[in-house]
Amino acid sequence: MNSEKIKYLVAKYNLPKFRINQFNDAFFKQRLTSFDEIKTLPKALRTTLETDEQVLSVSPYKLFSSKSKKAFKALLKLHDDALIETVLLNPKPDLWSCCISSQVGCGLGCTFCATGSMGLMRNLTEEEITDQVLYWQMSDVLKSLGIKLNNIVYMGMGEPFCNKKAVFASLNELMNPSTFNIGARHISVSTAGIVPVIKDFADTFPQTNLALSLHASDDALRQELMPINKPYPLEKLKNALDYYLDKTNRKIFFEYTLLGNRNDSIPTAEQLVSFVKSIKKNHLVHINLILYNKTDKDYMESQKTTATQFKNHLINNGISTTIRKNLGRDINGACGQLALKNPIKNASVDNLQLSI
Ligand code: SAH
Ligand code: SF4
């Protein structure tokens, strides 16, 4: 459900314009999950809508919750039976964040990422993207606690900038005051580095956060890890980042997944320092080091001491750096694990509660 669909329903059933506010209120404020619950609508209309229309374009297939109850993963089924995954995280007492997918699979084939090995099946529609957020808002997890999501990250399955039209439309909808009403600064989009779209994003959404998946600062290594580095090598990326920072003057986040013995040595940290220093407004760069989450790929996690040394090297060179907290590992809801075919088989069953 989104404002487009509400407009469509109003037109299709020839309803007066004031019904728009009633629908907005029902779905986005009261978080009602069926047409039948909207008591402001006449009974006959409720019955017709209930029979002929769907509130959500996604339907829950399985819901997993981590033992800590701070991470939940939903497998959602689409109209064509494709499955996507979305994750709800509660990293701090007052922070509820959801991670959403933008495509079924991903065509960019990063060699350490489980979604990459699926290939691209299809793009999600604008409604399928925002319905992941609405699904969580309507879920018992949030609704029963009276909590609203206050942070959205496009870091699930897929490359958002390879589905620009629907992703840009979904961003506008998430910020729409009549529906989701989420502030631009509470939304982050992560890209593997689609250079022209980074520039479009800077022009169109200068207040929304951008995360760039870097993972290596040497073209040969980056290309090995991320084939997209071939059409968009580091020099082009750097230019796009300069453009973004000039336009927005906002902090930018680099994601750097530490892969044991591949990109976690001090010489690679030095390359990373040089790359960051080559960016004009490099004081705006923040590096998020991510610990590698196990997939079926042949990579291993960095040693704890190696990760700390890598981080300290960056900090000692004046670069703001943190190691990202890993929530949701026991449900394979952590970064890059979203595509694992059988989440139950790949996780300890003790740590999982299957709720649907
Ligand atoms: N396609 C986008 C957004 C989704 S991936 C992108 O690549 O930026 C979200 C983040 O998880 C990216 O930084 C990605 O590189 C990282 N990631 C992928 N697989 C991972 C894994 N196995 N362990 C840790 N991080 C991973
Ligand atoms: Fe696609 Fe991002 Fe995974 Fe790369 S890391 S394959 S871009 S989802």
| Residue 309 tokens, joined | 């040394």
Question: What pLDDT was estimated at residue 146?
Answer: 85
Distance 114 CA to ligand 1 centre (A): 9
Nearest CA to ligand 1 atom 19: 336
Which two structure tokens, joined as six digits, stand for 189? 């989009």
pLDDT tens digits, residue range 108-146?
999 999 999 999 999 999 999 999 999 999 998 898 888
pLDDT of residue 145: 81
Per-residue pLDDT, 350: 27
pLDDT digits (tens, 9 = 90+) for 9-46: 999 999 999 999 999 999 999 999 999 999 999 999 99
Ligand 1 centroid to Cα of residue 192, in Å, is 8
Pairing of strands 285-291, 252-258: parallel
Hey, which of 97, 229, 253, 290 would you mutate to test ligand 1's pocket, going by the most ligand atoms within 8 Å of its Cβ?
A: 290
Whole-number Å distance, alpha carbon 228 to ligand 2 midpoint, is: 10
Please give the angle made by the CA atoms of 353, 148 and 142, to the nearest 5 degrees: 25
pLDDT at 342: 46
Element (DSSP H or E) covering residue 290: strand 285-291
Is residue 290 within 6 Å of ligand 1 at its C-beta? yes
Ligand nearest to the CA of 108: 2
| pLDDT (0 to 100) of residue 346 | 35
Token pair, residue 139, equals 């879920």
DSSP 221-262: HHHHH-GGGTTS-HHHHHHHHHHHHHHH---EEEEEEEBTTT
Q: Which ligand lies nearest to the CA atom of residue 337 in the structure?
A: 1
Domain ranges of the chain: 1-55, 57-351
Ligand 2 site, residue 156, Cβ cutoff 6 A: no
Q: In this structure, are residues 126 and 166 in contact, taking their beta carbons and an 8 Å threshold?
A: yes
Pocket lining: 232 vs ligand 1, CB cutoff 6 Å? no
DSSP letter assigned to residue 180: T
Q: What is the Å distance from ligand 2's center to 57 Cα?
A: 24
Kindly state if the Cβ of 285 falls inside 6 Å of ligand 2: no
* Any ligand 1 atom below 6 A from CB of 335: yes
257 lines ligand 1 (CB under 6 A): yes
DSSP 330: G
For the entire predicted model, the pTM comes to 0.94
Residues whose CB is less than 8 angstroms from the CB of residue 96 and which lie 6 or more positions away in sequence, other chains included: 88, 89, 90, 142, 147, 148, 149, 150, 151
Predicted pLDDT at 351: 32
Determine the Cα–Cα distance for residues 306 and 260; give it in Å rounded to an integer: 9
Ligand 1 atom at minimum distance from 108 CA: 1
| Whole-angstrom distance, CA of residue 174 vs CA of residue 168 | 10
Say yes or no: CB of residue 101 within 6 Å of ligand 2: no
Instruction: Give the C-alpha distances (Å, rounded to integers) separating 243 from 154, 192, 206.
Output: 21, 17, 11
pLDDT at 338: 57
Residue-level pLDDT at 314: 98
Which residue type, as a one-letter code, is found at position 228?
I
What pLDDT, on the 0 to 100 scale, is given for residue 70? 87
The list of the chain residues with pLDDT below 70 reads 325-356
Answer yes or no: CATH 3.60.20.10 is held by domain 1-55.
no
Question: Which pLDDT tens digit goes with each residue over 206-222?
Answer: 999 999 999 999 999 99
- 220 vs 226: CA distance, rounded Å: 10
For domain 57-351, give the fold.
TIM Barrel (3.20.20)
**Amino acid occupying residue 115:** T
pLDDT (0 to 100) of residue 347: 35
Ligand 1 atom at shortest distance from the alpha carbon of 337: 22
State in Å, rounded, how far the first CA of the chain is from the last one.
22
| Closest ligand relative to 216 C-alpha | 1
Query: What are the structure tokens assigned to 213, written together?
Result: 């998946």
CA of 41 to the centre of ligand 1 (A): 44
